[in-house]
A and B are shown apart, each in its own frame.
Chain A
Amino acid sequence: MNQQAYSARGITESIVAFAQFARGHGLNIGLTETQEALRAADLGLLGDKNRFRFALKSLFCHSPEECNLYDWLFTLYWDTNPTDLRDRKNETRLQGMVEKKANATLVMLGQGKSEAAEEDAKTVTGANEAERLKKADLAKISEIDAAALEKIAEKLFREMAVRLRRRMKQDRRQGQINLRRTIRRSIAFGGEPLDLLRKSRTPKRQRLVVLLDVSGSMDKYSFFLLRFICALKENFRQMDAFVFSTSLVRISRALQLRRLDLVLDVISRQAGDWSGGTRIGLCLQEFRERYGKQVLNGSPVVLVMSDGLDTGDPMVLEQQLSAIRSRCKKLIWLNPLKGMQGYQPIAKGMKTALPLVNDFRSAHNLESILELENILEDA
C-alpha cells in the first residue's frame, strides 16, 4: 500500500491508493466509493486541489469525526514531500482501531474475598443450589460459586430477553380497523367486508439508557449488572449504555458488537482512578453535555445503577438528576446496598438523589435484578 501520492505511478493509481490508504486508517470506504472518486476526478475536479479534496470528502466521510480524520489523511497522503518522509511502516494507529485481545481480566470478580463473608452467604439455606445462589448477595459469593452463578445468570438473563420480546408481540385483538387488509379480504366475499381485520398497534420500542457505576465500591455487583445490561441489549435495540466512576465511558458500541471483553478492558483501564472515588454528579453532567441531546430524546427510561456513595458535590448531582428527570419517562435507581439489612439511604449522594427518582430498588442478588424485568416490561 502506498503511503504517499508521490510513490504512485499515475493519477488513477494514486486515487485508488488513497482510497486504500484512507480505508486502512479507519474510514469506511468500499469499492463503490473508490469508483465514484474516480468518476468525480473525471468530472474535471482535478484542476483544483481544494475542490478535489472537498469532493472526495463528501464521498468518503460519514460523520463529523470522520471529516476531521479525512482532512488529516488527505494532507498526509497528498501533501507529503518525499524528502520529508521515507517509506515507513504504517505506524499511524488510531485509537479504537486496535484489536484488543481479551486480556482484560475480570477486574471486579474475586477481589477482597473473605472467609467470613462466604459463610454468611451459605447460611441462606434454601431448596436447592440454584435457588440459594439466586438469593445470595453477590458481594458475598465465593469464587467457586461465582462460576456457577455466572452460568445461572446467563441462562436467566437469556430467558428474560426472550420473554420480554414475546410479550411485545401479543395484543392483537385491539386497535384500529385495518382497511387495507379488510378490503383485500372482502373481495373473496364479493365485496362484503365480513372479516374485520385490525391493526395491531406496533409496539413502540421504549428507549432505554443505562448508567452503570463501576467504581470500587460497586466491585462485584457491577460484573453481574454488566451481564444484565448485555441481556437487555438483546431486547432494547434502542439502548445506550454508559459506565462511570470518575469519568464517563460510552459502551453502546461495544455491546452492539457483543464485545464484553472490550468493555471490561475499558473498565480495567479506568480502575486506576478508583482511589479518587466516584463523582456521580460530574459524570452525569458529562453525560448530559456530551450525549444528552442525542440520547435523552423521545423520553427514554433511564436506569442508574449505583450505590450512591458520591464524593462530589451533592448540589451538582441534584441539578443533573433533575435535568435528566425532566427529559425521561422514568428514572429508576438500582442500589445494591439496599438489599442489606438495615440499610438507610443516608449517604450524601443517595439522600439527594432519592426524591428525584421514580423507583428505588435493590440489586444485590440475582433475584432482585430479575425483578427489574417487570418494570421494564411496562416501561
Chain B
Amino acid sequence: MPVSTVQDSSALLFNTIEDIRHILDERSYVADEDFSAALFLLLKLGKPLLVEGPPGVGKTEIALTLAQILDTKLIRLQCYEGLDVNAAVYEWNYQKQLLGIKLQEGTAFTVEEKEKHVFGSEYLLKRPLLQSIMEEDRAPVLLIDELDRADEEFEAFLLELLSAFQVTIPELGTVKAKHRPYVILTSNRTRELSDALKRRCLYHWIDYPGLDKEMLIVRKRLPGIGQGLLEQVVHVVQQFRERKLAKVPGVSETIDWAESLMALGYREINQQAFDSSLGSILKSAEDIQLVRSEGLDAFKQTA
C-alpha cells in the first residue's frame, strides 16, 4: 500500500490567503481575514482545525463549503455522549459473519482459513473515521461535529488518529491514510477539550458577527431580501444578543427569521410581523416572554 500523504492538487490552487477569502466569498461564506488564515494553514500544513464558538455561527457550514471548494467528499461524524470506537471507526458485520460461518460448515477449510475469511474486508462496516482515511481518489474533508458532546475517552482515541492518520484493526492490520483528510473539528464549548487534543489542532474562535458582517452574511444567503428589512432584522437580532437570553440567537436563526419574514410577505418589521414570527428567532418561552414584555420599539431604536 503506498503511503503517501501528499497534498492534493486542488489544495495547491490556493497560494495566498486572499485566494481563499475570495473563493469562500464566491460560495457565499463570509470569512474574516483571520479565519481565512486559519483555513490556509489547514490546507498547507495539513493540521486539523478546531473551530469553537457559540451555536449557529457557521462552524459546521465551513466544512460543507470547504468540501465544495475542494470538490471532494465530506465525511461527517456527529458526536454524542456515549459515542464509541465501534460507531466511529469500524464494526464487523456480525450477522453476515454468522451467515458466513454457517455457509462454510460443510467445506474443508481449516479453522484458520475460516477465520481469515470471516474477518475479510467484505465483512467490515466502515464508519466515518475509517472511511475518511481509506478514501482512494483524493483527500476528503472530515468533519467531527460537536466534539464536546463525546466522552473524554473518545477524545483520547482521536489523538492517535489525528497525529498518525492511521487505524489499527487487530484482524486486518494497520490502515494508513493514502490521502490525509482535511479535518475540521467543532465544539460549542460546553466542556473544555483536553490540552493534548488542542495542541494537535489549529484553533479558531468564531464569535457572533458585528452588524455589518451579519448583514453581509444574510444578504449572501438571501439575495432577494430588501435593504430595509435586512437592516431591521439584523439590528433587532443584534439587540437581542445584548439581552440576557437563555438561548442567544445565532446567525442561522437570523437567516431563518429573515426568510420567514420574507415568506410571510413582510417588507419591514411591524408589530404584527414581530408577533407572528418571533418563534423562528427565539427558541425559549422565557425569552419570548421577556422580549414581548419589552416590546418591539425597545429593539428598533438605534442606539
Determine if B225 is an interface residue (Cβ-Cβ < 8 Å).
no
Task: For chain B, residues 121 to 151, give those with C-beta under 8 angstroms from any C-beta of chain A.
Answer: 151
Q: Does any Cβ of B come within 8 Å of A106's Cβ?
A: no
A54 within 8 A of B: yes
A58 touching B49 by the CB < 8 A rule?
Answer: yes
Most B CB contacts (10 A, CB to CB) among A44, A51, A180, A190 go to A51
The reply to whether the CB of A294 lies closer than 8 angstroms to some CB of chain B is yes
State the CA gap A195–B229 with chains docked (Å). 68
Name the CB-closest residue of A to B97: A183
**Number of residues of chain A lying within 8 A (CB) of chain B:** 41
Expressed in whole angstroms, the minimum distance between the Cβ of A256 and any Cβ of chain B is 11
Q: Mark A61-93, 1 if CB is under 8 A from B, else 0.
A: 111100100000000000000000000000000
A33 to chain B: which residues have CB within 8 Å?
199
Partner among B17, B192, B244 whose Cβ is within 8 Å of the Cβ of A51? B17
Contacts A179-B94, A186-B101, A191-B114 hold; do A294 and B199 have CB atoms under 8 A apart? no
- Cross-chain contact B114 with A57 (CB below 8 angstroms): no
With both beta carbons as reference points, the residue of chain B lying nearest to A42 in the complex is identified as B44
Among A51, A58, A187, contact of B114 (Cβ-Cβ < 8 Å): A187
A29 to B, closest residue via Cβ: B199
Report Cα–Cα, A237/B191, bound state, in Å.
13
Question: By DSSP majority rule, is chain A's interface helix, strand, loop, or mixed?
Answer: helix
Q: Does B104 contact A (CB under 8 A)?
A: yes
B198: interface (CB < 8 Å)? yes
Q: From residue B89, how far is it (CB to closest CB) to chain A in Å?
A: 13
A187-B111, A187-B115, A191-B114 are contacts. A58–B98 as well, Cβ < 8 Å?
no
Hey, which chain B residues are within 8 Å of A63, CB to CB? 52, 192, 198, 203, 205
Q: Does A50 contact B (CB under 8 A)?
A: yes
State whether the Cβ of B105 lies closer than 8 Å to any Cβ in chain A.
Answer: yes
Cβ of A43 within 8 Å of any chain B Cβ, yes or no, is yes
B202 contact set on A, CB distance < 8 A: 58-59
Q: Evaluate whether A62 and B195 lie within 8 angstroms (CB atoms) in the complex, with A183-B97, A183-B98 already known.
A: yes
Q: Report Cα–Cα, A350/B147, bound state, in Å.
A: 39
A198 to chain B minimum Cβ distance, whole angstroms, is 14
| B35-43, B60-68, B272-280: which lies at the interface | B35-43
Q: Are B118 and A187 in contact (CB under 8 A)?
A: yes
Confirm or deny: B160 has a beta carbon within 8 angstroms of a beta carbon on chain A.
no
Answer whether residue A30 sits at the interface, using C-beta atoms and an 8 A cutoff: yes
Residue of B nearest to A186 (CB): B101
Please pick, from A62, A183, A186, the residue contacting B198 in the complex, using a CB distance under 8 A. A62
Look across to chain B and name the residue whose beta carbon is closest to the beta carbon of A60.
B203
Cβ of A187: which chain B residues have Cβ within 8 Å of it? 101, 111, 114-115, 118
Contacts of A32 in B (CB 8 A): 199
B-contact 0/1 string along A1-42, CB 8 Å cutoff? 000000000000000000000000000101011001001100
Cβ contact of A54, chosen from B34, B49, B52, B115, cutoff 8 A:
B34
The reply on A55 being an interface residue by CB < 8 A is yes
Hey, what's the 0/1 contact readout for B214-254 against A, CB within 8 Å counting as 1? 00000000000000000000000000000010000000000
B180 part of interface (Cβ distance < 8 Å): no
A182-237 CB contacts (< 8 Å) to partner B: 183, 186-188, 190-191, 193, 202, 204-205, 237
Given known contacts A64-B205, A191-B101, A297 and B191 CB-to-CB distance under 8 angstroms: yes
B contact residues around A294 at 8 Å (CB): 189-192
A50 to B: closest C-beta gap in Å: 6
Check B199–A51 contact: CB distance below 8 A.
no
Inter-chain CA distance A39–B192, complex, in Å, is 29
Nearest 6 A/B pairs, CB to CB: A191-B101, A54-B37, A54-B34, A179-B94, A58-B38, A62-B198
18 contacts between A and B (CB under 8 A): A28-B195, A28-B198, A28-B199, A45-B17, A51-B17, A54-B36, A54-B38, A55-B37, A55-B41, A58-B34, A58-B38, A61-B203, A180-B86, A180-B92, A183-B94, A183-B98, A238-B191, A294-B192
